[in-house]
């Protein structure tokens, strides 16, 4: 397993070297051909010069006359005096009609230097254009009709994980409910409901029930009944693989990390609401994890009790102060210093331990819970900044529902005015949420700019419409999404997207930052692409010392 990616990397490197060597040889061959043609042109001028001399009489063939005539052909006539015999090796001889002349001419590289330079630039440009066109051609979107025929071999058992038939009926059987989501738009030409239903029926026909529903949110809800306990994990892996192979047949440059599966396995007669909530939480865990694309959660009596009181429990933990506020520093490449830090919430759960906000925020549905969460984070961050003497600039994430609530906006503005920390705090919001709710956010955005604070738009995963942000002064920076940054040094597609986003950021006068940087190669690639700063475990883990300074 380790040698396979290493072998692939070595072969890719060798193929690039072979391509570079072939390009150099091609340019050398074309240059040799051009030089040969220029030599032929010089020879033709010499023959024309001799022909002109043959038409002159013997009396007219003086050295001055011949030298003047030679210059008309960009040549230099050389007389055959005794003093010139030693220079015969540097002369060219031309004969015509019993007339023999010795001439000199400039070197080919001197006479045609500008022409050779122009043609070399043209050759190199054509080679680069052909190489980039080939890269784009390899990752081009394939038409669905063409790919449907090529995808047929995918259905072979050698491609997908093998699934054993359910065991005997005396063993405990479970139902699996899975939510599958991917970061790719299928397009209106594909009937997702029918297409996925057909494929799942083919691969899971051995089970009692296999129902598939394509949700309006873009996720796929799949239910498979009567699965043996020992086959639950294998069935979930096969569901993930089936969806990936379907998407791969439509677009050949996708990787498995774009498909995330969250599922719940349960016995019959269970509460379907709890099953859906567990599957949704599992999908959130898988989405926020880089390496884990599948996450399954069982539904038992303990989980039933936990799910019934999960939202109120988390809010109770926050109200009782059972949480810690970490700060993830963001480093500027130019100054090599911390330019700002992102506040990250960790809640101490009595059963699950220290958990991140991303793991339980999807379970918060009421406005009251979201209000409590964001107000506590803002107030606690202000306390830390008020007692911190290093003039730290911190950024705080606030839920979109609260941004659109005028009551919360007024509360936030009053807190900023009372604390006098507007110049030391920024607020983060996803780019998609900002663009979708731009009309509702016009008033709060205008007031944030007046009090002296601003917004950082994060989760930027693709290019956007510059006009949507051009006249909004309170936006201070853009943050790339983790999926776009992870393994960017190995993906030309991700590099192209980041380069375009950086170009758009320059048009708006906004710096572009990266999150989740884990390796030096990722860092170096981001610096070459024009990213101004980054945060991640490559630089530092989230720091708790700043939070402790608030006590």
* CA proximity to 403, closest of 360, 448, 361, 358: 448
pLDDT in tens, 99-125: 777 777 777 777 788 888 888 888 888
- Tens of each residue's pLDDT in the chain, 551 residues: 445 566 666 676 777 788 788 888 888 888 888 888 888 888 888 788 777 777 777 777 777 777 788 777 777 777 655 444 445 556 677 776 667 777 777 777 777 888 888 888 888 888 888 877 877 766 554 443 344 444 444 444 434 444 444 444 434 688 999 999 987 777 777 888 888 999 898 889 888 889 998 887 778 999 999 888 778 888 999 999 999 888 888 887 788 888 999 999 888 777 777 788 788 888 888 888 777 889 888 886 555 455 444 667 778 888 888 888 888 889 898 888 888 888 888 887 776 566 777 667 766 778 888 888 889 889 988 888 888 777 778 899 988 888 888 899 999 999 998 888 888 899 999 888 888 888 888 888 889 888 889 899 998 988 888 888 888 888 999 999 888 888 898 889 899 999 999 999 999 999 999 998 878 888 999 999 999 999 887 777 666 544 433 33
Give the single-character DSSP code of 543. Answer: B
Give the single-character DSSP code of 156. Answer: S
Structural domains for the chain: 15-79+90-109 (no CATH), 173-299 (3.30.70.270), 308-535 (3.20.20.450)
What string of DSSP letters covers 370-383? HHHHHHHHHHHHHH
Instruction: Report residue 300 as tokens.
Output: 């038992």
| C-alpha pair distances (Å), 395 with each of 308, 339, 342, 426, 427 | 33, 11, 5, 4, 5
Predicted local confidence at residue 411, as pLDDT: 92
Q: Which residues are paired to 368 by β-bridges? A: none
Rounded CA gap, 242 and 263, in Å?
Answer: 15
pLDDT in tens, 427-438: 999 888 888 888
3-state SS of 512-527 is EEECCCCCHHHHHHHH
* CA proximity to 232, closest of 174, 161, 314, 154: 174
Predicted local confidence at residue 307, as pLDDT: 44
């Amino acid at each position: 397993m380790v040698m396979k990616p290493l072998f692939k990397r070595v072969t890719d490197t060798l193929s690039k070297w072979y391509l570079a060597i072939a390009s150099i040889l091609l340019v050398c061959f074309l240059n040799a051909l051009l030089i040969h043609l220029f030599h032929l042109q010089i020879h033709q001028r010499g023959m024309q010069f001799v022909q002109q001399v043959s038409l002159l009489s013997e009396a007219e063939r003086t050295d001055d006359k011949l030298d003047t005539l030679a210059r008309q052909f960009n040549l230099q006539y050389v007389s055959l005096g005794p003093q010139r015999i030693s220079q015969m090796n540097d002369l060219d001889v031309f004969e015509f009609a019993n007339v023999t002349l010795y001439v000199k001419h400039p070197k080919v590289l001197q006479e045609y230097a500008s022409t050779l330079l122009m043609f070399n630039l043209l050759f190199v440009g054509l080679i680069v254009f052909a190489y980039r066109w080939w890269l784009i051609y390899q990752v081009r979107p394939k038409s669905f009709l063409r790919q449907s025929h090529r995808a047929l071999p995918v259905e072979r058992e050698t491609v997908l994980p093998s699934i054993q038939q359910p065991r005997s009926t005396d063993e405990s059987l479970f139902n699996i409910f899975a939510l599958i989501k991917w970061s790719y738009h299928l397009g209106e030409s594909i009937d997702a409901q029918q297409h996925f239903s057909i494929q799942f029926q083919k691969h899971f026909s051995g089970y009692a029930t296999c129902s598939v529903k394509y949700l309006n949110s873009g996720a796929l809800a799949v239910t498979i009944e009567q699965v043996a306990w020992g086959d639950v994990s294998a069935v979930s892996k096969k569901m993930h693989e089936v969806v990936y192979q379907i998407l791969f047949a439509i677009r050949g440059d996708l990787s498995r990390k774009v498909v995330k599966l969250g599922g719940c396995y349960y016995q019959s007669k269970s509460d379907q609401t709890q099953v859906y909530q567990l599957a949704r939480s599992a999908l959130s865990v898988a989405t926020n994890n880089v390496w884990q694309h599948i996450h399954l959660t069982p539904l038992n009596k303990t989980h039933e009790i936990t799910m019934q009181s999960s939202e109120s429990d988390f809010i109770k933990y926050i109200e009782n102060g059972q949480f810690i506020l970490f700060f993830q520093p963001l480093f500027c490449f130019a100054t090599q210093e911390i330019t700002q830090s992102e506040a990250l919430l960790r809640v101490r759960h009595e059963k699950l331990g220290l958990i991140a906000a991303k793991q339980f925020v999807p379970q918060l549905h009421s406005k009251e819970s979201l209000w409590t969460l964001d107000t506590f984070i803002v107030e606690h961050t202000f306390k830390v900044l008020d007692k911190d003497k290093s003039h730290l600039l911190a950024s705080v994430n606030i839920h979109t529902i609260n941004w659109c609530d005028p009551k919360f906006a007024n509360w936030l503005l009053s807190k900023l005015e009372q604390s006098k920390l507007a110049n030391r705090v920024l607020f983060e919001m996803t780019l998609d949420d900002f663009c979708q709710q731009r009309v509702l956010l016009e008033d709060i955005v205008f007031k944030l700019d007046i009090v002296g604070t601003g917004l950082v738009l994060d989760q930027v995963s693709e290019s956007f419409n510059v006009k949507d942000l051009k006249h909004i002064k309170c936006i201070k920076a853009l943050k790339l999404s983790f999926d776009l940054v992870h393994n960017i040094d190995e993906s030309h597609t991700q590099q192209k997207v980041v380069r375009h986003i950086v170009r758009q950021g320059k048009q708006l006068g906004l710096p572009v930052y990266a999150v989740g940087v884990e390796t030096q190669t990722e860092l170096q690639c981001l610096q070459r692409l024009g990213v101004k700063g980054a945060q991640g475990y490559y630089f530092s883990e989230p720091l708790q010392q700043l939070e402790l300074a608030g006590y």
